[in-house]
Amino acid sequence: MNMDKNTYKRFADAHAPRSPIGKNCINAFCIGGLICAIGQGLNDIYRLALGFSEDDAGLLASVTLVFASALLTALGVFDEIAKVAGAGTLVPITGFANAVVSPAIDSKSEGFILGVGAKIFTVAGPVLLYGILSGVIYGIIYYVGLMI
């Protein structure tokens, strides 16, 4: 069966399963919102029940969410949630923790140095690099601006 590219594209598009975009958007919104609500709840617990300052409570809530998502990734639960929630799990801080832990788990069989150590930041590394670099550049511009 010989087909040109356009014929094959039409054939593939006709037989591909349709994605339920509306349902996916609602799932992402609801589960992402739930993650954010859990973060706010943790913030309130740390601040109101345990007496931490607002800054410390926010930091502890973020660290708790990162730890929980890293643990759920290691247990294989995070990926199951992400199948339903899509971007709802990736946009909050939990997605960043998943991006760091997943390559480490995948490369564990190669050893801790050449596997985990070398590949842990393959996804998150560019985010860290350019985030820090842009912060430094902004700081230099700000500092020079104050001198003028």
Q: For the chain, what are the domain ranges? A: 22-147
Amino acid at 61: A
In the chain, count H helices and then E strands: 8, 0
Could you list the pLDDT tens digit for every one of the 148 residues in the chain?
A: 677 888 888 888 888 888 888 999 999 999 999 999 999 999 999 999 999 999 999 999 999 998 999 899 889 898 899 888 888 887 778 887 887 787 777 777 777 677 767 777 676 777 777 888 899 999 999 999 988 8
CA 16 to the chain's CA centroid? 28
CA 107 to the chain's CA centroid? 19
| Tokens read off for 87 | 């971007």
Residue located via tokens 């350019």: 130
Residue located via tokens 């946009």: 91
DSSP output for 96-110: HHHHHHHHHHHTGGG
Cβ burial, residue 67 (10 Å; 0-12/13-18/19+): exposed
